[in-house]
Amino acid sequence: MNLVADTQAKTPSQAEQAVPMELVCPAGSLPALKAAVDNGADCVYLGFRDATNARNFAGLNFDEKAIEAGIRYAHERGRKVFVALNTYPQAAKAELWQRAVDRAAHNAVDAVILADPGMMAYAVKHQPQLRLHLSVQGSATNYEALDFYYQHFGIARAVLPRVLSLTQVEQVIEKSRVEIEVFGFGSLCVMVEGRCALSSYVTGEAPNTNGVCSPPKAVRWVETPQGRESRLNGVLIDRYAPGENAGYPTLCKGRFDVEDDKNYYAIEEPTSLNTLSLLPELMRMGVRAIKIEGRQRSPAYVAQVTKVWRAAIDSCRDNPHRYSAKPSWISELDKVAEGQQHTLGAYHRPWK
């Protein structure tokens, strides 16, 4: 299947460069969707209540009644709804993912976010009216990869993995023929998105196929004389002193005994990406959308983060040369950041 024969890279026109940057916010529930819309999101992204999306937590996501209500609420206010179908179908259950594509089309969503090429081929053949976005789970980190998905499946946008520097993001945008969306705020992952199998070694379920890292059924909290312990399928992930903030137990963000009985975050510290200070650069290079991570978070989180980012994007758009991230914005986001701290992640590499 080859939708586009021309392989020349696209140079964005002035009109394309002038298109406003979109704010894409998480909606793990109908109240979260409304919180995002009410506080200034241009788009919300959500998932169905099954393994087709990468945030398949119990109590979250949308059944048929909720998604109809959510789409109506967003569209009546001029906002867009994207559906994340960003896990990888299993051979014995491919129909579940195919039905999810059909459900999204039936509900007239504004785009579906896909990672698997087979899913894209199904969408192009059976629901050709659907706008396709390449998920961060697709792990496309260069314009040649994006061009492959553009030629074969006609993707309109790609979400870049959080492993690229600002310079690399700009190089992708300069040569790519699709819109580029990047993560602006939220939890980080130590692995390249779409290729993480770490939690499967402990739980037997990979997030890329079962829809959740550290499935809730495997999570246990235990009070002990040494402190509160978090365990994943019986494996000790972390131990917290009285009054210490306790995060959700994921293997990559646990504390480990390493050499000489040193105990620390040996793989990755719990921290959130926050790129408010980079907004002028992201706008200048033509980033089409900023994505906020957190479909597993509360409506209050969604409201707080959306409100700050709406104000920041509007401020930067109106006066990019005088823009600076306000301390009050940083403070508000740190309150809901993982570990109550933030980082620029891979975007900023001072040693290069």
Q: Map out the domains of the chain with their CATH numbers.
A: 14-188+271-347 (3.20.20.70), 200-264 (no CATH)
pTM over 0.95: no
* Residue 41 pLDDT: 98
Q: Are 169 and 141 in contact (CB under 8 A)?
A: no
Q: Do residues 218 and 233 make contact, with C-beta atoms less than 8 angstroms apart?
A: yes
HEC per residue, the chain: CCCCCCCCCCCCCHHHHCCCCEEEEECCCHHHHHHHHHCCCCEEEECECCCCCCCCCCCCCECHHHHHHHHHHHHHCCCEEEEEECCCCCHHHHHHHHHHHHHHHHCCCCEEEECCHHHHHHHHHHCCCCCEEECHHHCCCCHHHHHHHHHHHCCCEEECCCCCCHHHHHHHHHHCCCEEEEEEEEECCCCCCCCCCCCHHHHCCCHHHHCCCCCHHHEEEEEECCEEEEEECCEEEEEECCCCCCCCCCHHHCCEEECCCEEECCCCCCCEEECHHHHHHHHHCCCCEEEECCCCCCHHHHHHHHHHHHHHHHHHHHCHHHCCCCHHHHHHHHHHCHHHCEECHHHCCCCC
- Name the nearest CA neighbour of 294 among 240, 265, 333: 333
Q: What is the pLDDT of residue 351?
A: 56
What are the φ and ψ backbone dihedral angles of 179, each rounded to 5 degrees?
-65, 150
Residue 201, pLDDT score = 84
pLDDT at 15: 36
In order along its 352 residues, the chain shows pLDDT tens digits of 555 444 444 444 333 446 799 999 999 999 999 999 999 999 999 999 999 998 888 889 999 999 999 999 999 999 999 999 999 998 888 999 999 999 999 999 999 999 999 999 999 999 999 999 999 999 999 999 999 999 999 999 999 998 899 999 999 999 999 999 999 999 887 766 667 778 888 888 877 787 778 888 889 999 999 889 999 999 999 999 888 877 788 888 888 888 877 888 888 777 889 999 999 999 999 999 999 999 999 999 999 999 999 999 999 999 999 999 999 999 999 999 887 778 888 887 665 5
pLDDT score of 341: 78
Residues 305 and 187: their CA atoms lie apart, in Å, by 13
What tokens does 175 get? 């040569």
In this structure, the strands spanning 272-274 and 179-187 are antiparallel
- Parallel/antiparallel/unpaired status of strands 235-240 and 227-232: antiparallel
Taking phi first (over 0 means left), then psi (-120 to 50 degrees means alpha), and beta for anything else, what does residue 118 get? alpha
CA 239, CA 172: separation in Å to the nearest integer? Answer: 42
- Other residues' Cβ atoms within 10 Å of the Cβ of residue 302: 30
Phi-psi region at 230: left, alpha or beta (left = phi > 0; alpha = psi -120 to 50): beta
